[in-house]
Amino acid sequence: MRTAVRVLLLALAAAQGLAALTQLFAPRWFYDDGPWVSGHPPYNEHLMRDVGAATLGWVMVIIAAGLTLRPMLVRLAVAANLIFSVPHAVFHLTHLHGYAGADLVGQVVLFSLGVALPALALLLFELSERGRRGRTRTPDRSR
């Protein structure tokens, strides 16, 4: 289960890191070519770069959590991610006008996964921790 948590956290970091790097270093391209942004004018390079840089900051915390699986760090990383991801998803999922076909499906799937994956990672982590705590408290009577 801990491997699944690690994979989920690192996949989340990779996906968000890619978006963040694009926002930071190619903000106009991200805005013009990303169907999730261009429908919400006006373009603001400063805002795009700031969002990209801030996202990279929490991506580093997610990477550290995924590599170490330290309980406080995992919980902090997922909480910080969800504090952003939940209202972000709500906004996009309630502003679907103008989208159709693959763009509409992409909106719903990507923003839903942005909430579901960290929540799943946290659930699996907590189950894993509960199992580990149970094993360390119970003496091994098989020896």
pTM: 0.80
HEC states along 68-94?
HCCHHHHHHHHHHHHHHHHHHHHHHHC
Predicted pLDDT at 37: 74
Amino acid at 54: A
pLDDT digits (tens, 9 = 90+) for 90-126: 999 999 988 899 989 999 999 999 999 999 999 999 9
Predicted pLDDT at 137: 60
pLDDT digits (tens, 9 = 90+) for 26-68: 999 988 887 677 667 788 899 899 999 999 999 999 999 999 9
Binned at pLDDT 50, 70 and 90, residue 143 comes out as very low
Judged against a pLDDT cut of 70, whether residue 142 lies above it is answered with no
Burial class (CB in 10 A: 0-12, 13-18, 19+), 62: buried
Closest CA to 66 of 52, 77, 57, 81: 77
